[in-house]
Amino acid sequence: MIENIKLPKIYVNAEFQRLWWTNVSGGLLLGVLLIYALFIGVKEGDTDSDYLTTIGLIGMFISGVVAYFLIERSLKQDVESNAFDQLRMSSLSPWQMVYSRILVAPLLAWVGFLVGWVLLGWVLLIAAFVSSATLVDNNSWNWNNDAFLTLLAFLFLAWAFACMALTNALQFGRGLRQWSGSAIQLILMFLIGTIFFNYLNFDPLKNLLWSSDETYNILQFWFSNVLLAIFASVAVNSAMAQRLHLKSAHGVFLVLSLLSPLLFSWNFTNVDTMAKTLVLCYGCATIVSILTQNNFHLAQGFAELKQGRFRLPAWVVLFPLGLLVALPLDVNMAKLYLLQIGGLLTLVWIFARLKLRYQAITMAMMVYLFGFCFLLLIYP
């Protein structure tokens, strides 16, 4: 009798199935489609391409925000219900748990993103047919290639964003009392990174990140997003492995930070631009490390380093390395680098020692931004 029983085939892992049962609702998915249909149908007269493009882009943007909150909510619920502790004893690999949570938990957002992506692709496809019917040279073919690469890059960018949202939620360094990964903390960190980005003594937006050749820019955009998706996948897999107490992610994050200038490798046309790219990337990575990784067990970290285990925050290596690269370029640039990052590190250390619970890092960032605005008033 037992031999005659036919077991159903399992095409996905148990974590994928569990998240599907707890997060996916057919009614909500249908609601996303109805909302898109409502905005398309409300347009009076013929629906032009600009209108569809706007709907698609707005839908993709909103889907990214929704994906962030859905991933955070899903992980928080599992931690509170002790489901995550039980998963540590399962035979699932970190990568199985990663792609299951990234694909299923924010499935509502993925549907919204893909519908917007299809709308944008449809507009580009129609434009391609119109251009090919009116142009007789090869310009239409080149433009079609650019449009295809741009659409493909959006998929890689969406995956990278979801990976980074989950990495942030996994808390790979600090405890929840200091860095909760909340939206306000991410916004403050973005503002601090922007200040650092803008107040080095060169124009990175114009000379470093963009080209005057439109086709070249499309290739840059595609290459960067593919590489970013690979980096983000490695990072989130390491963060999940650390959360499961399988191995430390400190070394992986350091290696990814050291390799981050490769995202702008097309601008390595000379030693000067390459050095500026290194300063920019290592400085931004240092800021992220200071805010998100635990910085106050350095003695223990150095002791473990002698035993062949790297458990130090990445800024311990990145901060002096960026300063060494900036110093030969420009003394003023090196001073700005040292003052901005050194001041942030000092504030984080002070507020973390005050035991202000989870508000410690938030308060440090707010004081840093207020201090910067005050300095602008004194020295405009």
pLDDT, average across residues 314-335: 88
pLDDT tens digits, one per residue of 217-267: 677 778 888 999 999 999 999 999 888 888 888 889 999 999 999 888 776
pLDDT, average across residues 107-112: 94
Q: Assign residue 357 a region (left: φ > 0; alpha: ψ between -120 and 50; beta: otherwise).
A: left
Of these ranges, 31-35, 39-43, 177-181, 350-354, the one predicted with the greatest mean pLDDT is: 31-35
pLDDT tens digits, one per residue of 341-368: 999 999 988 888 887 766 888 899 999 9
Ranges 11-20, 33-42, 93-102: which has the least confidence = 11-20
CA distance 116 to 62: 10
**Token representation of residue 379:** 């020295």
Comparing 81 with 255, the larger pLDDT belongs to: 255
- In this structure, which amino acid lies at residue 245? H
CA distance 330 to 348: 27
**Token representation of residue 12:** 């996905």
pLDDT for residue 45 is more than 60:
no
The answer to whether the beta carbons of residues 94 and 240 sit under 8 Å apart is yes
The rounded mean pLDDT for the chain is 80
DSSP 8-state class, residue 83 = H
Band (pLDDT 50/70/90 cuts) for residue 303 is low
- In this structure, which amino acid lies at residue 310? F
The whole-number pLDDT of residue 235 equals: 94
CA distance 208 to 206: 6
Band (pLDDT 50/70/90 cuts) for residue 277 is confident
**Which position has the token pair 């285990």?**
309
The answer to whether the beta carbons of residues 289 and 169 sit under 8 Å apart is no
The whole-number pLDDT of residue 140 equals: 43
pLDDT for residue 290 is more than 80:
yes
The whole-number pLDDT of residue 182 equals: 83
pLDDT, average across residues 137-149: 55
The whole-number pLDDT of residue 166 equals: 93
From residue 362, give the alpha-carbon distance in Å to each of 295, 347, 350: 16, 11, 12
- In this structure, which amino acid lies at residue 113? F
The Cβ of residue 203 has, within 10 Å, a number of other Cβ atoms equal to: 11
Residue 288's nearest CA partner among 166, 137, 181, 154 is: 181
**Which position has the token pair 């299951």?**
100
Ranges 142-146, 217-221, 315-319, 329-333: which has the least confidence = 142-146
Phi, psi of 170 (to 5 degrees): -75, -10
pLDDT for residue 90 is more than 70:
yes
Band (pLDDT 50/70/90 cuts) for residue 188 is very high
pLDDT for residue 20 is more than 60:
yes
pLDDT for residue 283 is more than 60:
yes
pLDDT tens digits, one per residue of 160-171: 999 999 998 887
Ranges 118-127, 250-259, 298-307: which has the least confidence = 298-307
Comparing 148 with 102, the larger pLDDT belongs to: 102
pLDDT for residue 131 is more than 70:
no
pLDDT, average across residues 304-312: 72
SS3 helix, strand, coil % of the chain, rounded to 5? 75, 0, 25
pLDDT for residue 205 is more than 60:
no
What proportion of the chain, given as a percentage, has pLDDT over 90?
28
pLDDT for residue 274 is more than 70:
yes
The whole-number pLDDT of residue 216 equals: 57
